[in-house]
Structure 1
């Protein structure tokens, strides 16, 4: 047992545990990298709350980079553009945005196809003069989905 007062770093994690305790959905896992800042004492704070600590794989440096990139994408494309009011609002917004991102948004790595389009053959080019474009707002207009409708 240490005679020193708990550090601010440790107190922040205890606060996080208190917040997750009041959550509608209990936290089961904490995924973290193998940084030396994360000590066994810190892990014990989470274990005492019933949260299983999972460390990133050894000698897999890209795993953390891929996770950080996705978190950055979510922050820039969603969280920087919408004011989250409460936990349920955050869940609904994130669920809807991930649905758009995973099914309807063109991805550069897929040749500007949506993930749904890669399961079939690529769409044929069309003459836009013969079609009307339709637009649907996603999450109040922070992004949009487009499709064509035959001109009348």
Structure 2
């Protein structure tokens, strides 16, 4: 402001401008305030991905590590795979597959949020960078910085892993494919006004006679662990 006044030929001390703004309760330089994490997430939602590992144990006693990625804007989730040995080569191949899937789907991402888990190799960030995606690391022991991904992890545990006896890795892959489809195409999301990532909210039924004579069918997935309701044909 002091510079603009000077440009207009108005001579006034910078301290005077500061005093006037202070009296009016105005920040003399609001644009200098640091961008908060919440501001970053909101402003970049359309270009944000987030990923994380989930651990579970199958009935054969094997510990499995599930790697999943979620889009912030659409809440669409991709389960990249599961393995008992999440070594660097496995993670790198999963990330390469993700990059190819995003390109095929026409999705453009600029950032991928992840934690500092040692299972993520440094080469992973280089592969992402080559695809124009910058890896953004969360703070140490600050899961809220990856809240959208953490919320999906909780849903996956509560709605699938804690309710289903997983026999082995093959069975786990099948269960995850079913849950991914259910989550993306049917499950209602409060953050999306009860739509699903790949399903819009249908037009409301306004005809009282149709409401009084609804015929609803239920489709069970994974032996009844997941339920899908729809109008009967």
TM-score above 0.5, yes or no: yes
**1:2-151 counterparts in 2 under 5 A?**
19-20=84-85, 27-29=90-92, 33-34=115-116, 52=123, 57-58=136-137, 63-118=145-200, 122-125=202-205, 127-149=210-232
In structure 1, C-alpha distance between the alignment counterparts of 2:85 and 2:221, rounded to whole Å: 29
User: Highest Rg: 1 or 2?
Assistant: 2
SS in 1 for 2:173: helix
CA shift digits 1:95-139 (9 cap, x unpaired): 111101101111112222333442xx7323153322211111011
- How many angstroms does 1:82 deviate by? 0.2
Give the TM-score normalised by the residue count of structure 2: 0.41
In structure 1, distance between residues paired with 2:148 and 2:195: 21
CA distance in 1, matches of 2:124, 2:232: 50
CA contact (8 A) 2:217 2:231 kept: yes
Cα 1:136–1:58 change in 2 (3 A) is closer
Q: RMSD across aligned C-alpha pairs, in angstroms?
A: 3.8
**Whole-Å separation in 1 of the counterparts to 2:229 and 2:166:** 26
Unaligned runs of at least 5 residues, structure 1: 1-14
Tell which has more relative contact order, 1 or 2 (C-alpha 8 A, sep 6+): 2
TM-score by length of 1: 0.59
